[in-house]
Structures are given as structure tokens and as C-alpha cells.
Amino acid sequence: MKHLLVWSPVTLPGDTVYYWVEYQGEYERLYKSDSWLPSTWCSPTEDPKCDVTGDITAVVSYSLRVRAASGLRTSAWSALKFSQHSTLLTPPRIRVLRNGSHLFIQLEDLGLKFQFLVVYWRKEPGAEAMKPGAKYCAKARTVVQSIDRQSPFSQAQCVEAQAETLPLGLALFAFVATMLLLVALPFSMWKMGQLLCYSCCPVVVLPETLKLTKPSQKLEAWKREEKVDACSLTVLPPEEVFGAWM
């Protein structure tokens, strides 16, 4: 958490006014004889404010005091008591963004001790789902559970939801895929029909090597020799065959 001490400035025409800031915790009050310590960054300072975050480190009661000085003149100390439990939390900076049908809320990073309560709503009554053209608003508050403190809500920020559109590359890819599908689908159906027709009713085609357009000369010569041999055969009686053998 950030602790900022602010006071009313002292104005002296023609002179520069400096401020001294000191603090005292329970340890200094009980064990250091009620001593005061100068602030790390604001002794002295010309600004009418002081960041005492580095000085206030414990969740205990502190005393803070400030005085003005110009030359040899100094004012009396002005003191107050402070505790982290009395810290005044400020609302976080919030930014609402839209991305198509999505709503993004960015919050200021205040540290690990801080939590945020975010509320969003649709300006027109209706369903909670994002609807193109409708306006949505959001606001947030800061919460610190260790000191049981919370800030007021920030100013509401509103945006108008837009219809989600496809990126140019994705739209081009979808167009090309659709055209390829329109071309490939008829060709696939024609090819499938041919395969089914061939599987069910195959057409037998005689290879060219087995087709005989006119008789071969060797085949005709063999046929003539076969006829000559058949004509030269003579059947002999058994006696002649036996006599020829003897």
C-alpha cells in the first residue's frame, strides 16, 4: 500500500518554504524514549505532500508531524495519528476493452496485498450473454483484507459490443476450402460410381496379344504337313508285318 501525507502549503511571497516530516511508531514511543525519526524522502521537501510508505511498515499506530521553515524562521509542529487500519483506499484505474463477443477488463497493478471487486452489467435490460450492438459497463473497487478496508467504486466505463468477424486469412482459407470441396465432390462421386460398376459388372476384354486377325504362315504350313502325313499312312496285314520283321 502507498501512504501519502498531505498538508496545506505555507505561502511566503519572495521566499522558498521547506517542510520537515518526522514519524514515530510504537517501538520509538515505548523503547526509544519517545523519539522521532525524520522521514526518508521528505526532510526537507518543497512539496506540500510526502510519501511515507517506506516509513510506515507495521500494522500499528503511528504519529506523524510536519513543520515549515524559511531561512531562520520555523513553524510549530503539526501532528496527527495514523494507522494502516484508517488508510483511505482509492479506486483502481480501470479500462474496458471489447474483442468481438468478448469483454476484457484491465486493472491497475497495485501489488500483492490488493484485491479487486469488479462489477459489470448491460445497460439495456436483457440476457447476460454478449449481444452485438448492446452497451456493457464495468466498474471496480480496491480491497485490502489485512486491514479490512475497501475503496469506493471507480467511475463506470462502457463499451459497445460488436459482432465477431473472421480474420482475413481465415476467411480466405474457408473460401478456398469451399471451392475445392465443390470441385472434388462431383469427381469423387463419378470415380466411386465407376469403381462400383467395375466391381459388380466387370467387362472382359481380350488382350491384344491373344487376338488373331489372320492365320500365321507357320500355322498353315504345319497344317499342310499334318495332312500329308495322314494321307501317306497304309494299313498292312499282320502277315506282311511279321514277314517284314523276319
User: Is the pLDDT at 169 greater than 70, yes or no?
Assistant: no
Q: Which three cell numbers stand for residue 30?
A: 515505548
DSSP string, 72-102: TEEPPPEEEEEEGGG--PPPPPEEEEEETTE
Residue written as cell 462421386?
189
> What is the C-alpha to C-alpha distance for residues 234 and 123, in angstroms, rounded to an integer?
125
What is the pLDDT at residue 152? Answer: 92
pTM beyond 0.85: no
Kindly indicate the confidence band of residue 231, based on its pLDDT and cuts at 50, 70 and 90.
very low
> What is the C-alpha to C-alpha distance for residues 180 and 137, in angstroms, rounded to an integer?
45
User: How many other C-beta atoms lie within 10 A of the C-beta of residue 53?
Assistant: 13
> What is the C-alpha to C-alpha distance for residues 139 and 156, in angstroms, rounded to an integer?
5
pLDDT digits (tens, 9 = 90+) for 198-210: 677 666 666 666 6
Say what the alpha-carbon torsion angle 175, 179, 180, 186 is, to the nearest 10 degrees: 150
Q: What percent of the chain has pLDDT over 70?
A: 72
> What is the C-alpha to C-alpha distance for residues 74 and 68, in angstroms, rounded to an integer?
6
pLDDT digits (tens, 9 = 90+) for 86-132: 777 889 999 988 876 678 899 988 878 789 999 988 877 665 556 66
What is the pLDDT at residue 89? Answer: 84
Kindly indicate the confidence band of residue 235, based on its pLDDT and cuts at 50, 70 and 90.
low
Kindly indicate the confidence band of residue 38, based on its pLDDT and cuts at 50, 70 and 90.
very high
Per the model's pLDDT, the better-predicted residue between 1 and 108 turns out to be: 108
What stretches of 83-214 show up as alpha helix (H) in DSSP? 168-200
Q: What percent of the chain has pLDDT over 90?
A: 21
